[in-house]
Structure 1
Amino acid sequence: MAIQIGDTLPHFTATQQDGSSFDSHIVHNKPVVIYFYPKDFTPGCTTQACSFRDAYQDFQDLGAEVIGVSGDSANSHQNFQKKYKLPFILLSDDERKLRQLFGVPTALFGLLPGRVTYVFNASGKCIYIFDNLSAKNHITKALAVLKKSI
């Protein structure tokens, strides 16, 4: 069942870009932006990741953490993070468990993993969902929603 506005951030674990284990409890009591994207190093995903990177301090100033999720391996994420100097967490979802947990739809008739951004407030409630395959606007919309919620 897909996460809806008002739902609580589900508890989950996943592998981070450095191979260590991530537990969603570490973002408990702080706003968090979790964005799902199709694939490391593709043009749209690189643009999106670099846009989150460029606005990362704005998210941090609001007390928020940014987490990117795709089906790529931790090793791919590590290379992606190093090449583009990404300061935020990237999670490997190679078995698509997180996509299923969040209810992220596929795009283009099921051919591509979807691109969806979820914004959760400090209470862990989902306050915004942006589902759009285009990499544009995910960052500006997430920031605007966080600014309004604080």
Structure 2
Amino acid sequence: MSLEVGKPAPDFEAKDQDGNLIKLSDFKGKKVVLYFYPKDNTPGCTTQACNLRDNYEALQKAGYVILGISSDSEKSHKKFIEKQSLPFPLIADEDLKVHEAYGTWVEKSMYGRQYMGTARTTFIIDEAGMLSEIIQKVNTKDHTNQILK
């Protein structure tokens, strides 16, 4: 991964579940949790999203804006948000531009089969748009504590 703590977070533009254009630069002055996850409505991703949902108030109190992002479509994100009552936007990165900018579209392997997929990674971005932390070993059940520690 070429991104480093203390360096600027790559700016991006992509649509959320409602088709609204989200730009990282719109959040200057706020702390952002940008979390990349593999797929809507899968066990680990649901656990992670629900952990953030259940602790959303604490994250907001700490000054964080939460943005989830995967290669799923806006429609898939909308269903996931409705099913899990998620209070934060999910960004659709179907063309993988944001994944590529953050180095999260990687070769993976399952049962000896190689394939491309999302590396579950969370980027904490400070008020100035700089990377303040990169969490590569995400604990889906306790992700909020990894962020707030």
Between the aligned partners of 1:20 and 1:121, the Cα distance in structure 2 is 23
Cα distance in structure 2, aligned partners of 1:11 and 1:77: 21
Letter in structure 1 aligned against 2:49: A
Q: Secondary structure at the match of 2:55?
A: helix
1:131-142 correspondence to structure 2 within 5 Å: 131-132=136-137, 135-142=140-147
Structure 1: segments with no counterpart, 5+ residues: 145-150
Shift of residue 93 of structure 1?
A: 0.6
Identity %: 37
Deviation digits for residues 16-48 of structure 1 (CA, Å, limit 9, x no counterpart): 011121111221111000000000000000000
Q: Whole-Å Cα distance in 2 between the matches of residues 107 and 136 of structure 1?
A: 24
Tell me how far apart the structure 1 counterparts of residues 108 and 19 of structure 2 sit (CA, whole Å). 31
Give the match for residue 14 of structure 1.
14
Aligned to 2:118: 113
Segments of structure 2 that go 5 or more residues without pairing to the other structure are none
Secondary structure, in 3 states, of the residue corresponding to 2:124? strand
Compare the two structures and name the one with the higher strand fraction. 2
Q: Residue 47 in 1 paired to residue 52 in 2? A: no
Q: Residues 8 and 114 from structure 1, CA distance in 2 versus in 1: closer, same or farther, beyond 3 angstroms? A: same
Show CA shifts across 1:99-135 (max 9, x none): 1101115363353321000111112211111113652
What's 1:63 paired with? 63
Greater shift, 126-135 or 31-40, is seen at 126-135
Q: Deviations over 1:64-107 (max 9, x none)?
A: 10000000000100110011110111000111111110111536
> What do you get for the CA RMSD once the two structures are aligned?
1.7
TM-score between the two structures when normalised by the length of structure 2: 0.89
C-alpha contact 2:51 2:143 (8 A) present in aligned 1: no
Verify the 8 A CA contact 1:117 1:138 in the aligned structure 2: no
Question: Given residue 18 of structure 1, which amino acid in structure 2 is its aligned partner?
Answer: D
Aligned equivalent of 1:80: 80
CA distance in 1 between partners of 2:71 and 2:45 (Å): 12
Q: Which runs of 4+ in 1 moved over 2 A?
A: 105-112, 132-139
